[in-house]
């Protein structure tokens, strides 16, 4: 009497069928893989390694700031623009259009923060870069001296209340100015050309400096800014 509920012939038949299915799946695997949905705004790769900005900005901070915060802004934006006219625009144009239509809405916040962060990451470089002469002349002409410019940029970054950004911008008439914005706000919605930004959201520095924002800002300005990129942004 068979008390197992399955005889030898049934077991061998079932085993053979299972093996055939497994082999078939292994053969068909690549062909049946689901392709990732294309994104309207793929997040650009970080232009250096996570640890490249050390000791000023730690690899741990970069991994959270870029790998979590920046990535989340892009992910939220890409989900929200599906089926809208914004998914066909450039990111900068999408930011401007959304601001006109919705003001400082959740969609604007994610679009603007995606743009702001990419602009920020591109303006940093390991060890900094020497300042080209044309930028030096422009800053000296606008602020009187490089020291005065650096003091103004530092003050804007340190005194920005709560989360936000400090900027060097070029106005439509060509004048250079220091500006600061709260939260996700960005100068591009006001017709200005951003040249440089310092991120003063707490996630940009708190793991390394806690509440010492001024120390972080000073070290970033002195050691991590890519002045060649800043100069290339001049009109």
**Does 216 belong to an annotated binding site?**
no
Residue 203 known to bind ligand: yes
- 152 to each of 118, 139, 155, 210, how far by Cα in Å? 23, 11, 5, 23
Dist. CA 211–CA 201, nearest whole Å: 11
Is position 69 annotated in a ligand binding site? no
To the question of whether residue 117 is assigned a binding role by annotation, the answer is: yes
- How many Å apart are CA 219 and CA 206, to the nearest integer? 14
Binding-site residues, in ranges, read 65, 117, 199, 203
Binding-site residues for Mn(2+), in ranges, read 65, 117, 199, 203
């Amino acid at each position: 009497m068979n008390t197992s509920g399955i005889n030898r012939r049934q077991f061998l038949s079932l085993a053979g069928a299972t093996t055939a299915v497994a082999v078939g799946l292994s053969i068909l695997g690549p062909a049946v893989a689901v392709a990732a949905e294309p994104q309207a705004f793929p997040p650009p790769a970080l232009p250096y390694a996570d640890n490249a900005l050390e000791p000023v900005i730690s690899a741990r901070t970069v991994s959270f700031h870029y790998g979590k915060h920046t990535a989340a802004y892009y992910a939220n934006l890409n989900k929200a623009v599906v089926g809208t006219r914004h998914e066909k625009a450039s990111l900068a144009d999408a930011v401007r259009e959304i601001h006109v239509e919705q003001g400082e809405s959740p969609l604007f916040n994610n679009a603007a923060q995606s743009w702001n962060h990419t602009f920020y990451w591109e303006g940093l470089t390991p060890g900094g870069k020497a300042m080209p002469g044309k930028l030096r002349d422009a800053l000296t002409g606008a602020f009187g001296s490089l020291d005065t410019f650096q003091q103004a940029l530092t003050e804007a970054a340190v005194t920005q209340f709560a989360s936000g950004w400090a900027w060097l911008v070029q106005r439509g008439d060509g004048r250079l100015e220091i500006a600061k914005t709260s939260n996700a706000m960005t100068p591009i919605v006001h017709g200005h050309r951003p040249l440089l930004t310092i991120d003063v959201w707490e996630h940009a520095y708190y793991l390394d400096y806690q509440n010492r924002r001024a120390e972080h800002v000073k070290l970033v300005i002195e050691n991590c800014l890519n002045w060649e990129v800043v100069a290339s942004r001049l009109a």
